[in-house]
Amino acid sequence: MSQVSPDKLTVFSDYVCPFCYLGRAAMQQYRERADDPPDVEWHVFDLRGYKRNEDGTIDNDVEDGKDDDYFAEVRDNVERLKDEYGVDMTLDFSLDVDSWNAQKVALFLQQSYDEATFLAFHERAFEALWQEGRDIGDVDVLVDIASDAGVPEDEVRDAVADDHLDDELEARFEDATELGITGIPTFVYDGHAARGAIPPEQFDRLVDGA
């Protein structure tokens, strides 16, 4: 089972989750003002895995209880938090975008490159989707944003085609659910957890109260 480092602020998230994008911004605001914030460790969590067919496509007709009223409430909450946190983002939720390929590239970079390279790609993946409205499931888009982090095109394409990364992502998702992660974003520090796009001041309570 994957381990959560007790001295790091561990984040479970998915690029296609609007609240992950908002929670990331709130966490950055907390870290900028905190005297000695903990290091951050990112873990992928496949938000739409339950909708994924065996061929890798997403079946948006899967019954999950998320009707028009649910998405209207999500839009209202995202709009409110976007203004509250001062976040620049589009409210196009890109429901047809699948982040699996982006998760594979992110995992490859975590394993094969230094943290700075991973974070450069990680930040650009979020921005590409939520600020620029680009399809981060498209390999060409991933090649483009990874190039900003200095990652060669052939390595990105090889990562997307790597079946072993598929297996590892699936195993990590199972590990996360065994750890009790049922929704995202989830922030974990020293055995304590908070879920959702929590405000910056709640990170103080999560870390200082751990």
The CATH number of whichever domain residue 49 belongs to comes to 3.40.30.10
Does 30 fall in a domain? yes
Q: Is the Cβ–Cβ distance between 186 and 12 less than 8 Å?
A: yes
pLDDT digits (tens, 9 = 90+) for 28-40: 999 999 999 999 9
Confidence band for 111, pLDDT divided at 50, 70 and 90:
very high
Distance CA 158, CA 160 (A): 5
Domain count, the chain: 1
Does 182 fall in a domain? yes
Domain of 36, in residue numbers: 9-208
Listing DSSP states for 18-51 in one string gives HHHHHHHHHHHHHHHH-SSPPPEEEEE--TTGGG
Does 82 fall in a domain? yes
Q: Is the Cβ–Cβ distance between 107 and 44 less than 8 Å?
A: yes
Given a cut of 90, is residue 209 above it in pLDDT? no
pLDDT digits (tens, 9 = 90+) for 127-157: 999 999 999 999 999 999 999 999 999 999 9
Does 180 fall in a domain? yes
Distance CA 182, CA 120 (A): 27
Strands 192-195 and 186-189: antiparallel
Strands ordered across the beta sheet of 9-13: 40-44, 9-13, 186-189, 192-195
| List of E strands, the chain | 9-13, 40-44, 186-189, 192-195
Does 3 fall in a domain? no
Mean pLDDT of the chain: 89
pTM here? Answer: 0.89
User: Cα separations (Å) of 86 from 26, 69, 81, 166, 209?
Assistant: 9, 25, 8, 35, 26
Backbone torsions φ then ψ of 36, nearest 5 degrees: -145, 70
Does 110 fall in a domain? yes
Burial of 149: CB neighbours in 10 Å, binned 0-12, 13-18, 19+:
buried
